[in-house]
C-alpha cells in the first residue's frame, strides 16, 4: 500500500541545503480522476520509475523525480545568479524550505501501479482495479 508521507521544513537557513527542491517537479492534475480510463493513464505514468502520484484529499498531482541539470556535486546551483525567476521565488513563504524532505505536503504518494490499484480496490471498492491487480501479479509470476 502507498505510504503516508511525513513532510516538514527546516526554516530559512540554506547553509546545509542539499538541493531537495531541485530534485522533483509537481504538476497538478486538473480534475480528480474517477473513471477507469483516467486511472489507466495514471497507471501508465506510474510504470516510469521517475513518476509518482500525490493524492491529498480530492487534489491529485504528478510528482516527477529528477535532479536539475544545474545542481552540482556539492548540491549547489551552478547558475544561481542567473537562475529562472521561478527558482528565485521558490518555495512560497507559506511552505518554507524542503531541506531533506520531498516537499512539505500532506497526502499519500503512490510510487507503483500496484500501490494505486491496491488503493482503488480496497478504499474505493473498484472491481476493475482488483482484476487488474490480479492480472499484474499473474503476469509477474509467469516470468
pLDDT digits (tens, 9 = 90+) for 85-136: 888 777 766 666 665 555 555 689 999 999 999 999 999 999 999 999 999 9
Higher per-residue pLDDT: 99 or 51: 51
Average pLDDT over residues 72-88: 86
Specify the pTM: 0.76
CA–centroid distance for 109 within its chain: 6
Q: Is 142 helix (H, G, I), strand (E, B) or coil?
A: helix
First to last CA, the chain: 23
- Give the CA count within 13 Å in the CB-facing half-sphere of 131: 4
Q: Is 121 helix (H, G, I), strand (E, B) or coil?
A: helix
* C-alpha separations of 96 from 18, 23, 64, 126, 141 in Å: 15, 16, 20, 38, 45
Phi-psi region of 125 (alpha: psi -120 to 50; beta: other; left: phi over 0): left
What is the CA angle 82-14-107, rounded to 5? 100
Amino acid at each position: 500500500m502507498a505510504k503516508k508521507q511525513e513532510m516538514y521544513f527546516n526554516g530559512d537557513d540554506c547553509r546545509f541545503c542539499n538541493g531537495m527542491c531541485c530534485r522533483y517537479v509537481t504538476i497538478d492534475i486538473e480534475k480528480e480522476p474517477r473513471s477507469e480510463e483516467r486511472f489507466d493513464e495514471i497507471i501508465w505514468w506510474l510504470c516510469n520509475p521517475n513518476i509518482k502520484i500525490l493524492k491529498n484529499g480530492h487534489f491529485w498531482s504528478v510528482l516527477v523525480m529528477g535532479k536539475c541539470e544545474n545542481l552540482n556535486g556539492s548540491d549547489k546551483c551552478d547558475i544561481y545568479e542567473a537562475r529562472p525567476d521561478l527558482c528565485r521565488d521558490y518555495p512560497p513563504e507559506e511552505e518554507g524550505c524542503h531541506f531533506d524532505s520531498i516537499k512539505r505536503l500532506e497526502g499519500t504518494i503512490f510510487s507503483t501501479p500496484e500501490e494505486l490499484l491496491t488503493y482503488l480496490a480496497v478504499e474505493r471498492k473498484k472491481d476493475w482495479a482488483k482484476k487488474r491487480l490480479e492480472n499484474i501479479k499473474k503476469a509477474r509470476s509467469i516470468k
